[in-house]
Structures are given as structure tokens and as C-alpha cells.
Chain A
Amino acid sequence: MQNASFLPVAFEVIQLAGALLVLLVGVIAGKQRRVWAPIAGVTFLASAGAGVLQWRAVSEGSGGFFFSTQELEIMRSPMVVMDGLSAFAAIVLGLVGFVALLGSWDLVASLGKRSSEFVALTLLAVAGLHMMTVTPNLVVIFIGLETASISFYVLAGFIRGSRKSDESALKYFLLGSLASAMFLYGVALTFAATGSLSIYGVNSIRDFFSITIITEPGILLAGLALMFVGLFFKISAAPFHQWAPDVYQGAPSGAVGLMAAGVKIAGFAALARIFIGGFVSQTDVWVPIVAVVAAISMIVGTTMALVQTDLKRLLAYSGVAHSGYLLAAMVGGIRGIPPMWFYVSTYAFMIVGAFTIVSVVCGPASTAAPIDSFKGLAKRSPEMGWLLAIIMFGMSGMPFFAGFVGKVFAFVVAGEAGYMWLVVIGTLTTVVGFAFYLRVVSGIFSSGDDDDREIDPSLSARFAIVISAVATVLFGIVPWPLLDVVREALPF
């Protein structure tokens, strides 16, 4: 083990430690949730802090590859890489995790004894998510993916005795496992083709031996395709998205935010890591295909969202569309990574904020959120009404809200790559998006007749929503600080 150091894996270590501590304290302290609240919070913030340290180290030039298994540097089969991509992912995941935990605190509070499990799973999931971004080794990516997924399966079904929650968990589990298996088979085929589990393997081996051991290029391509399938599934790109609405709807509202946000962050970071940072020579193959998937996602996501009557499902479908826009950024290759980061990190805050509001309005354990229940929200709670409106505007891609910058930059890089047709589809589906986001906004400001109970969200939920909304507006009006940062958030 050369280059062994704590920092590159600090995020995972802190998260795991935090998770263990929470479980331990949970056993000891029983129902005293207040005890682990600070532990979990500190864990997330410490993880984000570790991310900042990683970022500093990277910008000082001490990033690089760690935990290599081979002496031969050129073979490069390191287990961990510390670069802009992983460091930024750490920061974002830490912060999003923190905010999401705040947002789900109402749910945690209602869980009683099991709440420590919930928090620990959250911490574990985020650890797994970051693991997907921090390694060039495909198997480690798989392990991270499974760590996160398995945690999420449980979180989705966390409400005991709820038919919908169970259904959600089982669907997520069966389909998720299927997709994971496909991803893993992709890894195996890639291994078969290149003889390496590293994303750099295919190139480095070729460089070193001046020959290729790839006997059948089809095997490598099939492997890549299967890895795409697995990741497309995770980021819920159409047509691999069908699980998302059902799972989001059935899962407790307080838990969905993290599921939706975290998987997107890690999924896209992993896509960027594997296909933009790694298999460079296959770019010509996957770019047009990703463009097509992006287009399908945009179209399917927006049109389906248009006909939804449940806000959770609507957000799920809109997430499909957002994946489409993010994939449009991917089409731009390395140039697309900063827009992708900007987009996905702001989206993460928005979606966490949105689901937190859902959990505030419809209850943290709710498995349904009819849009009608948001009618007259501004009257019941002007604050919540406006915050939801801001988040909706942000998601719809209105300028001076964060969604705009990411989306348009994604279009720009797609345009640069020559995919103008994708840009046109993107802008047009954005309009369809206005239709359903504004339907929600209309409802907020209309005079709701049946329900005028005042809504008084808990401090933590309020805090989570306000942070999301502030981020939405702030990065919309003053995007450059974040843009400057994400410009460096690239894989090696």
C-alpha cells in the first residue's frame, strides 16, 4: 500500500463511524433521539468538511491515486482517487445529506425506537453514494452502489405495516437488484475484455503493451452498455425510470428527498468518472446513445409529469426529465462536467426542499401527496407557499433560479458537441415543464376551500426548506462562485 493516507477515504470513514456511533447510542439511549441528532448532523458536516480538505489538497496538487494493488504505476489499478470530482462530491453529499436529514427529522421523530436505524442507514447510504464517486475501480463502484441501494431499499419500506411503503420497498428492491446485477455483469464483461477492473484499464493496457488483449470488441461494448443500464436505472433515465414514481410515492415523504438527491449526485458523478474520465476511447460510441436517452428522458419525464395528480409522482417524473437535461450535459464530455455538477448539486437542494415541504404538508410518513392538498398553501402558510413556489420555479428552469444556469449550460455544451436537436427538445420540454410546475404554483396561490388548517413546520424542516430555497435563489442570481468551483470538479 503506497500513498496510504486517511484523507482520500475520510468521507467514508467518517460516515461509517457516525453510523456505528448512532447505532451504538441508539441501543444505549433508546428513545432519546435528541442524543443522536447532533451526532448525525456532525457526521454529515464533518464529511463535508473532509470534502473541503480533500478539495484543498487537490487544488494544492496533492490529489492523486491511492491504494494501488500493483507496483506497476502504469497499470494503475488504484482503489481510490482523490480529485476534484470526488472532493466536490464529498462536499455536496455531505451538505445535501445534512439538509436532507434536517428535512426528514420529523419522520425520524415519529419513528420512536427505530429512529436510530433510520439515521444510521442514512449515513451508510451516503457513504455508499460517495464510494461510487471516489474510486476508479469498477467493483468498488459496485460496492458503493449496493451499499447505498440496500440502505435505500430499507428506507423506502421503513413505514411498518404500510401497504404502499412495502410495495415501494419491494419494487425498489427487485428492480434495483436486477439493475445492479446488470451493472455488475457489465463490469464482468469489461473485465473480460480488458483484463482490468480499472476504468483506465482499457487504455493503460493498450498503451503499455502496444497490443490489445481485447479479443472481441463487442464484449467491451456490451459491458459498457450494461454499466450504462445500471447507472441509467439509478439516475432514473427513461426508459429505465419506471421504478422511480412508484418508489417515491410509496416511500415515506421524509426519506425520499435524500433518495432522489443522493442517487442523482452519485449516479452522475459515477457516470462522469467512468465514461468521461475512464473509457475515453469509447466516447464516440456512447455519446450519441446518451443523447438519445437524454431526449427520451426529457420527453417521457415531462409528458408523464404533466398528467400526474400526486406531487410525489410528479417530482419523480420531473426527476426523469432532469436526468435528461443532466445527460445532455454529459454529451459534452469533459466540458459537460461543470454544468452537470452545477445542475445536480442545485437540483439536489431543490428536490430535498420539495420533499421536505411534502412531508410538512402531507405528513412525514405519508405515502401520497395529491396536488390538491397544496391548494391554498399560501393561505395556510405564506412562508411554505412561497418557499415551494421558489423551488418550483427553480426546478422549472426559470432564470435567476438555480435550475436555469445548470440547464442552459447543459444545453450549451450539448450544442457545442453538435447536438442542437437535443437542445431543441430540451428547450421545448422545458416549456411543458412550466405547465406542471406552474400548476402547482397556481394551486399554492389559489384559494383552497376545504382545508385551512394552519401549517407550522418544525424548526428542522423549516431550516431545511429555507436552506434549499435560499440555495435555489442564491445560485440563481449569483452563480459564479459555484461555477468557479465546479470548473475544477473534474476527474483526473
Chain B
Amino acid sequence: MSLTVTWFLLLGAALFSIGVAGVLIRRNALVMFMSIELMLNAVTLTFVAVSKDLGLIEGQVAAVFVMVVAAAEVTIGLAIIVAVFRTRSSANVDELAEMKG
């Protein structure tokens, strides 16, 4: 059993799913956000794997972009979480339901 690209794709899918599950399960905004970062990493993995498999450069370029975007998200995300934490002194998203209906 050789290590074909399919395995990498499956790994990516698994990571992505774990990320999604993390977002759904965890209550802490910070952890949820980390789960999202995990999803992005799954994507990066997929990009790189495919890129290598097909011998194309685009996928790797894309991976770099994804990392940049992820970094940008981190800065903004952390800032927002901090702001929320300041007003509510909690990062529990379940308490974050003033607006509904």
C-alpha cells in the first residue's frame, strides 16, 4: 500500500471534519477559533498534497496565501474575543445570545 495522494486528501478531510466538530462542540470562543484554524490547515494540507501530486505550483502558492489569511484572521479574531471578554469577562459563546428570534 503506497502512500498515494488519496490518503492525504482523506487526512485533510478528517482534519477538516475534526475542525468542524470542534467548532460545534467547544464553548470557548478561543477554542472554537482554533478549530477553525485547524480547518484552514486541513485545506492547506489538501492544497499542498494535490499540488505535489499533479506537479503544479498553484496549490503551493495557494497554501501560502491561506496561511497569510489565517494570520490575518487570528489578529482580528483575537481582538474581537478580547473585546468580548472585556465586556462580559467570559469567552463562553453560549452566554452570547442577547440577540435572537
Chain A residues packing against B (C-beta within 8 Å): 69, 77, 139, 142-143, 146, 150, 153-154, 157, 160-164, 166-171, 173-174, 177-178, 181-182, 184-185, 187-189, 191-192, 195-197, 213, 219, 245-246, 249-250, 307-308, 313
Contacts and interface: CB of A to CB of B under 8 A. Distances in A.
A118 to B, nearest CB: 15
A139 B65 contact: yes
A1 to B, nearest CB: 15
Interface string B4-15: 010001001000
Given A153-B76, A154-B76, A163-B88, A171 B9 contact: no
A173 B77 CA distance: 7
A178 B72 CA distance: 15
A219 B10 CA distance: 11
Contact of B50 (A146, A164, A166, A195): A195
Interface in B63-100: 65-66, 69, 72-73, 76-77, 79-81, 83-84, 86-88, 93, 96-100
A188 B98 contact: no
B21 to A, nearest CB: 12
Given A164-B98, A169-B83, A189-B46, A174 B33 contact: yes
Contacts of B5: 192
B87 A166 contact: yes
Contacts of B81: 170
A307 B100 CA distance: 12
B93 A185 contact: no
Contacts of B47: 188, 191
Given A170-B81, A170-B93, A177-B33, A150 B73 contact: yes
A150 B76 contact: yes
A195 B87 contact: no
Contact of A185 (B16, B50, B65): B16
Given A161-B87, A173-B77, A245 B36 contact: no
B62 A174 contact: no
A170 B80 contact: yes
B80 A139 contact: no
Interface in B11-63: 12, 16, 19-20, 23, 29, 32-33, 36, 39-40, 42-43, 46-47, 49-51, 54, 56, 58-59, 61-62
A240 to B, nearest CB: 14
B58 A197 contact: yes
19 contacts: A142-B66, A146-B72, A146-B73, A150-B72, A153-B77, A153-B80, A154-B79, A166-B84, A167-B84, A167-B96, A167-B99, A174-B29, A178-B36, A185-B43, A191-B50, A191-B62, A192-B50, A195-B54, A313-B99
Contacts of A161: 86-87
Contacts of B93: 170, 174
A169 B47 CA distance: 30
Given A181-B16, A181-B39, A189-B46, 7 more contacts: A173-B76, A177-B73, A182-B39, A185-B16, A188-B46, A195-B50, A197-B62
A307 B29 CA distance: 30
Nearest to B40: A181
A245 B99 CA distance: 8
B40 A195 contact: no
A77 B57 CA distance: 12
Contacts of A153: 76-77, 80
B54 A188 contact: no
B32 to A, nearest CB: 6
A164 B49 CA distance: 42
A170 B84 contact: yes
B36 A177 contact: yes
A162 B101 CA distance: 20
Contact of B69 (A142, A163, A185, A307): A142
Contacts of B83: 157, 160, 166, 169
Given A178-B39, A188-B12, A191-B50, A143 B76 contact: no
Given A174-B32, A181-B36, A195-B56, A246 B99 contact: yes
B64 to A, nearest CB: 10
